[in-house]
Structure 1
Amino acid sequence: MKKLTSKLLTGLLTAGLALNILGSGVAHAEYSEEIAMNMGKASAGASHSLIIDADGNVWAWGSTSNGALGVGGTGREKYKLPTKIEDFTDVRAVSAANVSSIALKNDGTVWAWGVNIGDGKRYSESDVPVQVKGLENVIAVSAGNSHNMVLKEDGTVWAWGSNKVGNVGNGTKKDAYAPVQVSKLSDVKAIATGFQHSLALKNDGTVWAWGGNRNGQLGNGFNEDKTTPVRVVGLEDVVSIAAGDYHSVALKSDGTVWTWGSNGYGELGNGRPGLGENESGDLNKPTQVPNLDHVDAIAETNGFWTTVLKDDGTVWGWGRNYEELIFGDTRGKITTPHQIPEINDAVAVSSGTQHSLVMKNDGTVWAWGNNYGNKLLGNEDIEHKSGPVEVFFE
């Protein structure tokens, strides 16, 4: 067994240093290609994880259910340590969800494995990466529990998968088994996929949303589902977005974080679950997370919590904490931002359903949360961890 060292991930170092310099002592979060690149290097799903090494190889660990690891096999095998996906390289970004995974190669092609592989068939899965046909010149990918999205370099957004509440965004509620273009949307620079809703960030700093809206996660002041994009009210100068299961997150250029949608577990970070516009504490318009600034990035999120990366390399989180995802042994709801212990030099972070991943500036990868049968944390020596442990590889 060897450590996942900076030699393996040395390609991250330049970008990581750029991230730290960007935020040095100044409360701003101007859009940075380096930050975006780092954040796409690691992805935590529901029961599996993905990372990219300096050579563009993808390493996966966790459950092989439905082929989500991409290493072959769709059964109940558990890969406790990262395993390289063979004959699959030149990858620049990955995204993991429930039992699905997608990747973006440097040539602009998109590859998928697990379920929802976008091959035009109603029921489809693959235990190894397969190319999603009809997609080229792609610059970003985002996997959701029920649908996937990609962003092309021309600013258009394409999606496929379940569309029961309009989460594909093509003006219908008919499932899409192959990529379709999101209607009435252009000039986009970033995307985020939630459980049944979607977000897009335009170059002008505005945020647009569509899909399920029961908890106000579309942020337009209402709670009706939308099959085409609507503008999130009251948000400008946004540089980054993230979508949880039923809530949404935005980072502004001044380093402040704004949240809306479900607040049942405190995932909005306002200290008030069970209060607000209704009994659940949900909010259908963005509100600023109090006492939080100097944020450089917000994590891809699969679950009922929120994680951010500050310009000093520290990581902060709030929301559901039953798997000790956020803060020590404090089980239950964390309703305000708390610093993740033992991390002060992170360059990327991703939050899964029950665990999180962090890439540090020295190239090492760390994880914490529920180890779910010794397979989520990439470290076979422990069952469960409320603080970060280093990920190992074979």
Structure 2
Amino acid sequence: MPPKKRHQKRQAAANRRKTPKTKSTTSTVSKRNPPKAEVAHPRGKATGAKRALEEDHANRLPSKRARTTLVRKRGRPASRPAIPPTINHPPTEVLAIIAFGNGESGELGLGPNVTESTQPRINPYLDPRDPSAFHVDQFSCGGMHTVALTVTNQIITWGVNDKSALGRETDWNGGLRDIEEDSSDSDGDLNPYESTPAPVPEKYFPSGTRFVQVAAGDSCSFALTDTGLVYGWGTFRDSKGEDRFSLDANGVVVEIQRKPACISGLEKITQIACGANHALALDATGNIWAWGASEQNQLGRRVLPRRYLESFKPSRVGVCRNNAKFIASGEYHSFAIDRKDNVWAWGLNSFGEAGDAKGAGGNSILVPYPTKVRDLCGENIIHLDGGAHHSVALTADGRCLAWGRMDCGQLGIDFTSEQLEDISLIRYDGRNEARICLRPTEVPNVGHVVYACCGTDHTIFIDKGGKAYVTGFGSQGQLGFGSYDDVQIAQPLQSGETEGRTLTGAGAGGQFSLVAALVK
């Protein structure tokens, strides 16, 4: 071989010995990942070359494996969202639902052919003895509709749906009758989709949602889940007749919520309650939340006109912070019981329904902020409810106290002559007629009461033995006595449908009533 070529060959071999064998490997890694700063290793360059080969091998593994684990910014593997724990449990007792009163808009839920029943009548669509019927375990009456919960976790609704209070489609092309047709024949006059109980579609709720309580207002409905979420639909109507339900994520007003929607801002809720056009929620930490119409201060706070729309977002009530254990509502006033057994009230008080005797019947018709009802504090109150202008409270030992408007027999109390002469207890109107009971007063003739509820101007009491007593305004047959008369003193509800049944609960709207009985 010529000397020149032998020299070139030796030079090339020398160059190869000077160049580390890992250089090509390092260049391959740099195409996959940005260059890393070199770190000195006590074992020298041979160990560095081995590490580079191991990194190259790792980077050549299939890319699918690298994408199977998401990494948080802090370097910890991401986990799936935790399922909220169950904090509420549904009732399990199946109930027979018995209706009476006016049902010209389907409020009774007895189907399209029944517009009225002045005596109690069992609802065949909810008959526990019929396996094809809906089996109800809890319900709530609004002004002109009802929401019920079944043991199979369905939400059932019936009544007026003009503002989507039923949470389902009820469009109907029928109902148009020939003008010469006999108007006395009312069969089939009602919208069958409103007058017949039917379920809110399950598709409106996430799979696996379990309900434990429902509540109804004038044109709104709400449902509470076992994990403490609240769903709602319908609308609130303010004193100007304007409809508003909520604000969306962009702050735009939702006038009518036509399908159930989860109420933003509420979590870990354990109880819900409705007035005519406002709602309350109690959370697991003992805080109260309120939203809806606010002109009567039923939300427990003054809402400035420029911030009026904010009242349709749940806001914490400034009382019983971390200390409330029960909430209730009248149509335009609200109640709370704290863990020290104090009773608080706020909202409309024109007839003393919010428990403020000083302002009743005068110019100070509102209780603007939550205020203690002194006559109820320390009485061990376990339940409250309210109508338009009257209220009731139950004690743990079975006494029922009532106060507020009394001129139509709303309270059911047979006042003594001494009571009627007590100006600190009874306030008279300009015609010298007893108009307002200023202080909570025991209803003496209804036995040991375990439940009580208020309609707009009537009241239903359930005693320990399972018997119902009814009193108040009766012009629509809502008292169940087969007449349209008012009743001044609470009377026992007696009929073939209630005879021999054990009644456990009740509900009342503006012109209709429901009582619930255990299965025979």
Alignment TM-score > 0.5, same fold: yes
Structure-2 separation of matches of 1:79 and 1:72: 16
2:84 aligns with none
Check the 8 A contact 1:251/1:295 in 2, yes or no.
no
Unaligned stretches of 5+ in structure 1?
1-32, 42-53
Q: How many residues align?
A: 343
Check the 8 A contact 1:103/1:141 in 2, yes or no.
yes
Check the 8 A contact 1:60/1:85 in 2, yes or no.
no
2:124 aligns with 85
Instruction: Select between 205-214 and 237-246 the one with higher mean Cα deviation.
Output: 237-246
- Identify, as 1 or 2, the structure richer in strand: 1
Tell me which structure has the larger Cα radius of gyration.
2
With the length of structure 2 as denominator, give the TM-score of the two structures: 0.61
Opposite residue 153 of structure 2, the aligned amino acid is: G
1:58 aligns with 97
Check the 8 A contact 2:244/2:255 in 1, yes or no.
no
1:44 aligns with none
Secondary structure in 2 matching 1:65:
coil
Check the 8 A contact 1:66/1:74 in 2, yes or no.
no
Q: Report matched runs for 1:1-394 at 5 Å.
A: 55-73=94-112, 76-86=115-125, 87=127, 88-115=133-160, 116-120=165-169, 126-133=194-201, 134-135=204-205, 136-164=209-237, 168-171=245-248, 172-222=253-303, 224=308, 226-236=311-321, 237-273=323-359, 279-292=363-376, 293-326=378-411, 327-328=413-414, 331-373=434-476, 375-380=477-482, 383-394=485-496
Deviation at 1:164, TM superposition (A): 4.8
Q: In the superposition, relative to structure 1, how do residues 284 and 358 fare at CA in structure 2: closer, same or farther (>3 Å)?
A: same
Q: In the superposition, relative to structure 1, how do residues 217 and 97 fare at CA in structure 2: closer, same or farther (>3 Å)?
A: same
Check the 8 A contact 1:101/1:113 in 2, yes or no.
yes
Deviation at 1:231, TM superposition (A): 0.8
Structure-2 separation of matches of 1:387 and 1:196: 30
Check the 8 A contact 2:101/2:118 in 1, yes or no.
yes
Check the 8 A contact 2:118/2:483 in 1, yes or no.
no
Structure-2 separation of matches of 1:308 and 1:359: 13
Instruction: Select between 246-255 and 150-159 the one with higher mean Cα deviation.
Output: 246-255
Q: In the superposition, relative to structure 1, how do residues 170 and 294 fare at CA in structure 2: closer, same or farther (>3 Å)?
A: farther
Structure-1 separation of matches of 2:361 and 2:479: 34
Check the 8 A contact 1:209/1:232 in 2, yes or no.
yes
Check the 8 A contact 1:295/1:308 in 2, yes or no.
no
Post-superposition Cα deviations, 1:134-165, rounded to whole Å, max 9, x if no partner, equal 35411111111121111111111111112455
Q: In the superposition, relative to structure 1, how do residues 275 and 356 fare at CA in structure 2: closer, same or farther (>3 Å)?
A: closer
Q: In the superposition, relative to structure 1, how do residues 251 and 333 fare at CA in structure 2: closer, same or farther (>3 Å)?
A: same
Query: Identity over aligned residues, as a percent?
Result: 25
Check the 8 A contact 1:158/1:181 in 2, yes or no.
yes
Q: In the superposition, relative to structure 1, how do residues 320 and 173 fare at CA in structure 2: closer, same or farther (>3 Å)?
A: farther
CA RMSD of aligned residues (A): 2.8
Opposite residue 290 of structure 1, the aligned amino acid is: R
- Identify, as 1 or 2, the structure richer in helix: 2
Opposite residue 379 of structure 1, the aligned amino acid is: F
Post-superposition Cα deviations, 1:192-248, rounded to whole Å, max 9, x if no partner, equal 111111110111111010111112111134454512111111223211111222111
Opposite residue 174 of structure 1, the aligned amino acid is: E
Structure-1 separation of matches of 2:402 and 2:169: 38
Check the 8 A contact 1:167/1:210 in 2, yes or no.
no
2:502 aligns with none
Secondary structure in 2 matching 1:284:
strand
Q: Higher relative contact order at CA 8 Å, sep ≥6: structure 1 or structure 2?
A: 1
Structure-2 separation of matches of 1:169 and 1:389: 42
Structure-2 separation of matches of 1:168 and 1:122: 21
Q: In the superposition, relative to structure 1, how do residues 381 and 227 fare at CA in structure 2: closer, same or farther (>3 Å)?
A: closer
Check the 8 A contact 1:137/1:152 in 2, yes or no.
yes
Structure-2 separation of matches of 1:120 and 1:184: 27
Unaligned stretches of 5+ in structure 2?
1-87, 128-132, 173-190, 421-433, 497-520
